[in-house]
Amino acid sequence: MKMPIQQNNPDVGFQIAPMIDVVFVILVFFMSLAAQIKIEQILQTKLPGVAVASASTEFVDEQMLQITEEGEVTLNDEGYDSVQSRELPQLTGTLMRLKTSSDAAKSKLVVTLVSHPDSSYYRTIDVLNSLAIAGISNVTFTSESAD
């Protein structure tokens, strides 16, 4: 009697039992995980989002203008124009650009004028004229202490 020849790769078809086992394991995993998740209201935390301010915040752009004893004018430690210049065209142009950029950024431009006690009064007037031409009205005056 001859034995039937066995095939090496029998076609067993689609096995659904292992798929059901995997689905049940995943279901148990998510059910156990869901029990540990707490509701956001219980934790009393808030997720980041858009905060609305109750009042507008003003950013101030402060510039330092200094007048030395000799009459030299510096803006943020950078010298402008000569001592003999009464119109101060370089300073006026720079101040106009500062005013334009602060208006575009909707920030308040404040200029602090630091004048040496022995500097000429007329030099201070020249600087104030440049500020007026540039349209800068927020000016604070200080004086260096005499050494």
Query: Which tens digits make up the pLDDT trace of 28-49?
Result: 998 888 877 766 666 676 667 7
Which of the listed ranges 42-46, 83-87, 113-117 does the model predict with the highest average pLDDT?
A: 113-117
Domain-embedded: residue 55: no
Total count of domains within the chain:
1
Specify whether the CB–CB gap between 95 and 131 falls below 8 A: yes
Residue 64 sits in a domain of what CATH number? 3.30.420.270
The whole domain housing 83 covers: 60-143
Domain-embedded: residue 79: yes
| pLDDT of 82 above 90 | no
Which distant-in-sequence residues (6+ apart) come within 8 Å of 123 by Cβ?
A: 67, 71, 73, 115
Residue percentage of the chain with pLDDT more than 70: 76
pLDDT at 129: 92
Specify whether the CB–CB gap between 91 and 73 falls below 8 A: yes
Domain-embedded: residue 106: yes
Domain-embedded: residue 68: yes
Can you give the pTM of this predicted structure? 0.57
Residue percentage of the chain with pLDDT more than 90: 24
Domain-embedded: residue 40: no
Domain-embedded: residue 37: no
Domain-embedded: residue 10: no
| pLDDT of 146 above 80 | no
* Mean of per-residue pLDDT scores for the chain: 81
Choose between 8 and 102: higher pLDDT.
102
Domain-embedded: residue 81: yes
